[in-house]
Amino acid sequence: MVVSGFPLLAASAAAVIGYLLGSIPFGIVIGRLLGVDPRAVGSGRTGTTNVYRAVGWPGALGTLIGDVLKAALAVWIAGRIAPEPAWQAWAMSAAAVAAILGHNHSIYIGFRGGAGGTPNAGALLAIWPAAFVPGIVLAALAWFGVRIASVATLTISLWALGSMVYRVAMTDASPGYLLYGFGQLVLIVWALRPNIARLVRGEERRIELSRDALAGRTPR
């Protein structure tokens, strides 16, 4: 399927698709199936980390997969509705940024959501697979190293920005990818404002790897 006409039309369609897909609250769907609404636990967010706090690892893993795939799907669709290859980067970037926006401010749940880390990983996977694995490795090292989710989220966000700048500067790729690089960073930093303030004060909450959570029981 290709959207013909002005390139702006393709980018706008990609953004709408990205936002609607990104807004799907997998954390709430999975949490409720397991008997807990993650919005009533911990930070009140609907992303992987707070679902882990609410229902443990099985639910968190399901949320992670769903949130990664919804953004990757949005970007994949965007790459196929752009009217010509020169505009694919703009459409894909618009879909990626919109998917993160939808995840953080979901239209389906009163414009609440997560912090954008997992859909950002999905967007990166679809936009430039070569950058995905190193980004995930860095984020995982940050996550397990300091056990602070916001640090891992910021790590992959900075990696995504650096990857897009490198791609445009060194591989002659479309500057449209910078829309994704800078756009995702702005959205994630905005979402993590309280977390960044706590990091500066040394008060950010660490993730407790409890036996109950690892076994799939609600962490205490």
- Whole-angstrom distance, CA of residue 16 vs CA of residue 95: 7
Closest CA to 79 of 180, 181, 153: 180
Q: Where are the domains of the chain?
A: 7-214
Give the residue-averaged pLDDT of 184-199: 96
Q: Which residues on adjacent β-strands are paired with residue 113?
A: none
- Whole-angstrom distance, CA of residue 122 vs CA of residue 83: 23
- Whole-angstrom distance, CA of residue 1 vs CA of residue 85: 14
Q: What is the pLDDT of residues 77-109, one digit of tens each?
A: 999 988 677 789 999 999 999 999 999 999 999
Asked if residue 211 has pLDDT above 80, the reply is no
Q: Which two tokens stand for residue 177?
A: 């990818």
Structure-model confidence comparison of residues 216 and 103, the more confident one: 103
pTM across the whole model: 0.90
In contact, 122 and 67? CB cutoff 8 Å: yes
Looking at residue 207, its pLDDT comes to 79
In contact, 97 and 18? CB cutoff 8 Å: yes
In contact, 49 and 151? CB cutoff 8 Å: no
For the chain, the first-to-last Cα distance in angstroms comes to 49
- Whole-angstrom distance, CA of residue 182 vs CA of residue 80: 23
Average pLDDT, the chain: 90
Asked if residue 212 has pLDDT above 70, the reply is no
CA 103 to chain centre: 7
Q: What is the pLDDT of residues 137-185, one digit of tens each?
A: 999 999 888 889 999 999 999 999 999 999 999 998 999 999 999 999 9
